Chains A and B, each alone.
Chain A
Amino acid sequence: GENVEQHPSTLSVQEGDSAVIKCTYSDSASNYFPWYKQELGKRPQLIIDIRSNVGEKKDQRIAVTLNKTAKHFSLHITETQPEDSAVYFCAAKDTGGGNKLTFGTGTQLKVEL
Chain B
Amino acid sequence: DVKVTQSSRYLVKRTGEKVFLECVQDMDHENMFWYRQDPGLGLRLIYFSYDVKMKEKGDIPEGYSVSREKKERFSLILESASTNQTSMYLCASSPLQGLAVGGETQYFGPGTRLLVL
**A interface with B by C-beta (< 8 Å):** 1, 6, 9, 32, 34, 36, 42-46, 49, 89, 93, 97-106
Contact = CB atoms under 8 A, between A and B. Distances in A.
Nearest to B40: A105
Nearest to B4: A43
A42 B109 CA distance: 9
B31 A99 contact: yes
Interface residues of B, number: 29
Given A42-B110, A44-B90, A98-B50, A103 B105 contact: no
Contact of A43 (B33, B49, B108): B108
25 contacts: A1-B59, A9-B40, A32-B104, A34-B104, A43-B111, A44-B43, A44-B90, A44-B108, A45-B108, A49-B104, A49-B105, A93-B104, A98-B31, A99-B31, A99-B96, A99-B97, A99-B103, A100-B58, A101-B106, A102-B45, A103-B35, A103-B44, A105-B40, A105-B41, A106-B40
Interface string B87-117: 0001000101100001111111111000000
Contacts of A6: 42
B70 to A, nearest CB: 18
Contact of A97 (B42, B50, B105): B50
Closest 4 CB pairs of A and B: A105-B42, A103-B43, A98-B50, A43-B108
